[in-house]
Amino acid sequence: MIPENKFLIKNIHNSFKNYLEISKPRSVMLLYFTSLVSILIASSIYGYDLKKILLLSVAIILGVMGANATTNYIDRKIDAIMQRTKNRAIASGKINPPVKGLVFAIIMVAAGIAAAFYVNWLSALFLFLGFFDSAIIYNGLTKRKSRYNILYGSPAGGFPVLVGWVGISSGEINLIAIIMFIFVVMWTPAHIWSLAYFYKEDYKKAHIPMLPVFLSERQNHFLIATLNILITVAAILLWYFYKLSLIYLIVTSAFSIALIVISIIMIVKSSKDFAWILFKLSSPYLGIIFLLLLIEFLFIK
C-alpha cells in the first residue's frame, strides 16, 4: 500500500475515534441497555414488533450520542481546564474547529428524533426532551450556576426508558415504565456527585459549582452514602410491591449490601477512595437491577 493511502486511512481512523469519543460510548451503552429493557418488557405486554425495536434502538443510540457530543461542545472550555477532561477531543483540539463536533452532534440528534418519530410522535418528543434536558437545561443553563445542577439534569438519563416504552405501547405509559424512569433519575445524582466529590479540586478550578465542592469531607460522605442507600431501598421496594421472585431479592440484596457496606466504610474511615469505588460500582448496579427486571417480566412473572 502506498504511503499516501496509509496516511489517509490513519486520518480517517483517528477522526472516527475522535467523534466516537465525544459521543461517550459507555454512557450510550448503559442508557441504551435501560431503554432496551423497557422495550422488551413493553413488547412482552403489547406484542413484539422487530421493526419498531430496531428503529427505537437506532433512535435512542443516535439521540444519546448526539446529546453527549453536544455537551462536549458546550463544555469545551471548562474541559480544557480540568485535569480529568483536558484530553477530550474537542477540548484538546483534536476536533478543530470545535463547531465540527457540534455539527456531528446535531446530525446525530436529528437522525435519532427522525427515527423515533417514524415509530411514534411521543417517542420523538421524549427523545427530544432527554436531549434538551441534558444539553440545554443541565450543561447549558444550570451546570455553571447552581450547586443543584445535576438534579435538573437527572431526568435526561431516564427519558430513553420512556422513549422505548411508548414506542412499543403506541403511547400508553404503564406504571413499571414510570418506576424505571424514576429509578434512573434517582441513580443519577449519586453517580455524578460521587465523581464530582472525587474530582472536587478539578471542579473548583473550573468554577463549576457542583454540590460536593461546597460540602465538607464528612458531609460529602454522608450525602453519597445516603443516596446510595436510598437507591438500594428503592430496588428492594420494587421486589415487595411487584411481588418479584426470590432470585431478584437474593441478587439485589447481595449487591445492595455491598453498596451499603462500602458507604458505611467511607463514613467511618472518612476516605475519598471509597467514593470512587461507589462511582465505579454504580453503573454496574443500575445495569444489574434492569437485567433482573428484564428476567422477571419476561421469564418469571
**By three-state DSSP, how is residue 293 classified?**
helix
Cell of 129: 426532551
Distance CA 103, CA 260 (A): 43
Contact, 225 vs 264, CB < 8 A? yes
Going by pLDDT thresholds of 50, 70 and 90, the confidence category of residue 271 is confident
Distance CA 23, CA 101 (A): 10
Distance CA 153, CA 136 (A): 9
Instruction: State whether 63 and 35 are in the same domain.
Output: yes
Instruction: State whether 195 and 296 are in the same domain.
Output: yes
Mean pLDDT of 88-108: 95
The pLDDT, as a whole number, for residue 15 is 84
Instruction: State whether 42 and 160 are in the same domain.
Output: yes
Distance CA 21, CA 44 (A): 34
The pLDDT, as a whole number, for residue 3 is 58
Q: Is 90 exceeded by the pLDDT of residue 145?
A: yes
Torsion sign over Cα 163, 169, 170, 173:
negative
> What DSSP assignment string belongs to 234-253?
HHHHHHHHHT--HHHHHHHH
Distance CA 123, CA 128 (A): 9
How many domains does the chain fold into? 2
Distance CA 269, CA 299 (A): 42
Q: Is 60 exceeded by the pLDDT of residue 83?
A: yes
Q: Is 90 exceeded by the pLDDT of residue 12?
A: no
pLDDT tens-place string over residues 155-211: 999 999 999 999 999 999 999 999 999 999 999 999 999 999 999 999 999 999 999
Cell of 128: 427530544
The pLDDT, as a whole number, for residue 4 is 60
Distance CA 218, CA 89 (A): 35
Tell me if 8 is assigned to some domain: no
In this structure, the number of other CB atoms found within 10 A of the CB of residue 28 comes to: 21
pLDDT tens-place string over residues 226-261: 999 999 999 999 999 889 999 999 999 999 999 999
- Which range of residues forms the domain containing residue 163? 23-172
The residues near 198 (Cβ < 8 Å, ≥ 6 apart) are: 272, 275, 276, 279
Going by pLDDT thresholds of 50, 70 and 90, the confidence category of residue 6 is low
Q: Is 90 exceeded by the pLDDT of residue 104?
A: yes
Mean pLDDT of 55-69: 98
CATH number at residue 233: 1.20.120
192 class by beta-carbon count within 10 Å (0-12 exposed, 13-18 middle, 19+ buried): buried
Instruction: State whether 234 and 215 are in the same domain.
Output: yes
Distance CA 95, CA 101 (A): 7
Distance CA 163, CA 173 (A): 10
Instruction: State whether 209 and 142 are in the same domain.
Output: no
Mean pLDDT of 282-295: 96
Mean pLDDT of 75-94: 93
Instruction: State whether 93 and 135 are in the same domain.
Output: yes
CATH number at residue 84: 1.10.357.140
The pLDDT, as a whole number, for residue 241 is 87
2 class by beta-carbon count within 10 Å (0-12 exposed, 13-18 middle, 19+ buried): exposed
The pLDDT, as a whole number, for residue 2 is 52
The pLDDT, as a whole number, for residue 9 is 64
Instruction: State whether 222 and 164 are in the same domain.
Output: no
In the predicted model, what is the mean pLDDT of the chain?
93
Instruction: State whether 206 and 292 are in the same domain.
Output: yes
Q: Name the residue type at position 21.
A: E
* CA within 13 Å, CB half, 78: 17
pLDDT tens-place string over residues 15-27: 889 999 999 999 9
CA 148 to chain centre: 17
Q: Name the residue type at position 145.
A: K
Going by pLDDT thresholds of 50, 70 and 90, the confidence category of residue 114 is very high
Mean pLDDT of 51-63: 98
275 class by beta-carbon count within 10 Å (0-12 exposed, 13-18 middle, 19+ buried): buried
Instruction: State whether 124 and 178 are in the same domain.
Output: no
Tell me if 18 is assigned to some domain: no
